[in-house]
Chain A
Amino acid sequence: MTQVLLNALVVGTTYALIALGITIIFSIMKVVNFAHGQLYMIGGFVVYYFNVVFGLPFWFGLLMSFLIVGALGVVMELFLFRPVMLRVKREEVTMLLAMGTAVFLESLALIVFGEKQRGVPPIATGIFELFGARLPTGRVVVIFIAAALIIALMAFIGYTKTGRALRAMAQDREATALQGVNLKWLSAMGFGLGTGLAGLAGGLLVAIFAVHTGAGTAVSIKAFLMIMIGGAGVLSGAILGGFVLGVLESVGYALLPGSMTFLVIFLIVIGFLIVRPNGIMGKPWG
C-alpha cells in the first residue's frame, strides 16, 4: 500500500502542475484549453531534444520547456484567442478554437518529431526506500522538483504584484483595468504561464514515462478530470484534483486490469459530479 501511495505522490504532484496550468488559463480567460495535453507533449519533446539530442543537462531542458511552451501560449493568446474572443456571439467558439489548435499542434508535432516514443536517460541513479516501499531516486527527484514548482507558483500568485494582478483580473477585468493594470499584457502573460506549466509537467514526466506525439488527448482528458474533481477555476482545487486523480489512478492500476482503471474513474467522476456539480472547491457555474 505504501508503494501505491508513493506512486500516487509521483503522478499526483506532476498532475497538479498540469491542473494548475489549465486552471490559470480558465480563471483569467474563461477558456478551457483543450490543447493543454498537446502543449504537455511538446514540453516533453523539448526536454528530449535538449537533453538527448543536444546533450545539455536535464534542468536546462526543463527550463527551456517552460520558456518555449510558455512563449507558444503567449502567441496563441495574442493571435488566436484574443481576436476571436473580441467578436464572437457564443463562448463555445473559443473552446472549438482550442480544439482546432490541439489538432494542429498534434499533426505538426507528428511531422516534426516523428512517431517514435522518446525518453531521456534516468536523471538520478539508485533506489530510495521508505517503509519497505521502493522508489527509483529519479522519481523522488521528480516529486521534489514538482513540489518546489507548485510552492513557487503559489508564492508568485499569492505574494507578488503580478500575481495579485492576475487574481484581480480573474475576479473582475474592468475593475482591474481601472486600477491601472495593463490587461493586454497581463492576460497574454497569464496564458503563457499556464501553458508553460503544461510544458514543465511534460518535461518532468518525460523522465519517467517517455513521450510520444499522440500522448496529448489522454493528458487533456486527465486534466479535465482533475479540474472537474477539484472545481474549475480554483487553484487549491486544481492541486487537490491532481492528487485525487493520482491516488485513484495508482490504486486502480494496482487492483484492476489496464483499461478498466479509467473506465471506473470516469464512472466515479460522473457519479461525483451528480452530487457536487461544481467539484470539491468550485463555485457555482453560471
Chain B
Amino acid sequence: MAGGSSHSIAKPIALGVLIALGYFIAVPLLSGGSGYVLNVVTTMAAVSFISFGVWLTFAIGRINLAQAGFALIGAYVTAISVAHLGLSFWVALPLSGLVAAIIGGLIGWPVLRLKGVYFAMITLCITEACRLTALSFPGITRGAQGMVDLPLPGDLSLFGLVIIPAFEKGARLPFFYLAGTLMMLGLLFMWLLDTSRVGAVFRSLRQNEDLASSLGINVAKYRVVAFMVACFYAGVGGGFFAALQQNVYPTSFQVIDSVYFMVYCFVGGLEFVIGPLIGALVMMTSFELLHEFQRYQTVIYSGLMILCILLMPNGILSVVRRRSSKAKGANNA
C-alpha cells in the first residue's frame, strides 16, 4: 500500500478533476438558466459540505448532533463581521470556520469524554443552546428578529488584481460556483485525511479508544482535533448560508438540521468518504421531487427515510459495494 501510494492517489485525483470540471460546466448548462434547479444544487453542495464534518465525527465513533449549532455560530460570525464590523465576506467566511472550530475545541475537550448516547444527547443540547444564545443576546444578534439584509459578498482582490468579482444582486451562478468549490475542497481534504495516517488513527479511536491509547496515541488530542475540523466545516457552511440567504435567524439551523446532516451520512453509508454527498444528493432530490404533494411532502419524505433505514441499514453505497463484490466473485469462479 505504502509503495504504490503515489499511483493510487494520482488516478482518483485525475478522475476527480474531470468530474469537477464536468459539474461546473454541465450543471449550469443543464439547468437551462432555471434559478430553481441551480438553487437546489447550490444548497445540496453546501449541505453536503457541512455533513462531511458529521461524517468525520462518526469516523471517531461519536454521534454528533451539534453540527447545526456550530453552523449557526458560523452564520452569525459571518453576519456580524460583514454587517457590523465591515469585514470582507472573503475574510468572514474562513473566520466563521475558525471561530466555530475554537468554540468547538473548548466545548469538545470536556464533552468528548462522553460516549454513545450520552454524547448524542449532549450534542443535541448544544445545538439547542446555540439557538437560545442567539435569542438571549439581542444586543449582538438582534434576537428573534434575526439579522436581515446582509450585504452580498464583495470582490476579492490581491495586490490590485481582482480574483473573484463582486456578487451581483439576484445572480445565482456565483453562489453555485462557490458552493461547488467548497464541496469539492471539503471532499478532497476529507479524502486525504481519511487515507492518511491520521485517518487510520481516527478509525482506531472508533474501534477501541483504550487500545489506541495503549499504543501511545494521545486519544484526547486526536478526538478534539477531529471535532474541531468538523466544527470548522459547520462554521464555513453556516457562513455560506448566511451570505446565500442574506439573513440569519436563531431558527436558521436547528435540531432538525443536525438530524438531517446525520441522515445524509447514514443514507450514503458511513464507511465511505463520499457518503454524505451521495446521501444529500439522494435525500434532497427526493424531497424536491415530492414537492407536488404539498402538505404531505414531509410525511412521505420521512416515511421514505424510515424505509431507507429498514431496507438498507448500512447505507446506499454498502448495497452498491455488495453487488459489485458479488459480481467480482462470480467472475473469479
Once the chains are docked, how many angstroms separate the CA of A191 from the CA of B205? 32
- Is A162 in the interface zone, CB < 8 Å from B? no
- Given A95-B120, A270-B107: A84 and B310 interface contact (C-beta under 8 Å): yes
CB-CB nearest 9 A-B residue pairs: A107-B298, A104-B302, A103-B302, A224-B121, A259-B135, A266-B129, A263-B132, A274-B110, A88-B313
State which residues 293-332 of B face A: CB under 8 Å.
295-296, 298-299, 301-303, 305-306, 309-310, 313-314
Q: Judge whether B118 and A277 touch: CB under 8 Å.
A: yes
Q: Which residue of A has the minimal Cβ distance to B129?
A: A266
For A232, list chain B residues within 8 Å (CB).
117-118
- Is A178 in the interface zone, CB < 8 Å from B? no
Enumerate 30 A-B pairs (CB-CB under 8 Å) in ascending A order: A32-B117, A32-B120, A80-B310, A84-B309, A84-B313, A88-B313, A92-B58, A92-B63, A99-B259, A99-B262, A100-B309, A104-B299, A107-B299, A108-B299, A111-B299, A221-B125, A221-B128, A224-B124, A224-B125, A232-B117, A263-B132, A266-B128, A270-B107, A273-B110, A273-B122, A274-B110, A277-B114, A277-B118, A278-B118, A285-B115
- Is B157 in the interface zone, CB < 8 Å from A? no
For B305, list chain A residues within 8 Å (CB).
100, 103-104
- Given A80-B306, A91-B116, A100-B263: A270 and B132 interface contact (C-beta under 8 Å): no
**Residue from A224, A278, A286 having most chain B Cβ neighbours under 10 A:** A224
- Is B8 in the interface zone, CB < 8 Å from A? no
For B259, list chain A residues within 8 Å (CB).
99, 103
Once the chains are docked, how many angstroms separate the CA of A151 from the CA of B295? 43
- Is B100 in the interface zone, CB < 8 Å from A? no
Once the chains are docked, how many angstroms separate the CA of A35 from the CA of B310? 17
Least CB distance from A232 to B in Å reads 6
Q: Judge whether B117 and A95 touch: CB under 8 Å.
A: yes
State which residues 230-266 of B face A: CB under 8 Å.
255-256, 259, 262-263, 266
- Is A75 in the interface zone, CB < 8 Å from B? no
State which residues 90-107 of A face B: CB under 8 Å.
90-93, 95-97, 99-101, 103-104, 107
For A266, list chain B residues within 8 Å (CB).
125-126, 128-129, 132
Of B116, B118, B306, which one neighbours A100 at CB under 8 angstroms? B306
Once the chains are docked, how many angstroms separate the CA of A3 from the CA of B68? 37
- Is B111 in the interface zone, CB < 8 Å from A? yes
Interface set of B (CB-CB < 8 Å, partner A) = 58, 63, 107, 110-111, 113-118, 120-122, 124-126, 128-129, 132-133, 135-136, 255-256, 259, 262-263, 266, 270, 295-296, 298-299, 301-303, 305-306, 309-310, 313-314
For B263, list chain A residues within 8 Å (CB).
96, 99-100
- Is A113 in the interface zone, CB < 8 Å from B? no
Once the chains are docked, how many angstroms separate the CA of A95 from the CA of B298? 19
Once the chains are docked, how many angstroms separate the CA of A94 from the CA of B113? 22
Interface of chain A, helix or strand or loop or mixed?
Answer: helix
For B121, list chain A residues within 8 Å (CB).
32, 224, 227-228
Q: Judge whether A95 and B129 touch: CB under 8 Å.
A: no
Q: Which residue of B has the minimal Cβ distance to A32?
A: B117
Once the chains are docked, how many angstroms separate the CA of A126 from the CA of B309? 51
Least CB distance from A231 to B in Å reads 10
Least CB distance from B198 to A in Å reads 22
Least CB distance from A218 to B in Å reads 8
Q: Judge whether A93 and B313 touch: CB under 8 Å.
A: yes
For A93, list chain B residues within 8 Å (CB).
266, 309, 313-314
Least CB distance from B134 to A in Å reads 9
Interface mask (A96-133 → B, CB under 8 Å = 1, otherwise 0): 11011101100110110000000000000000000000
Of A96, A269, A277, which one neighbours B113 at CB under 8 angstroms? A277
Q: Judge whether B266 and A270 touch: CB under 8 Å.
A: no
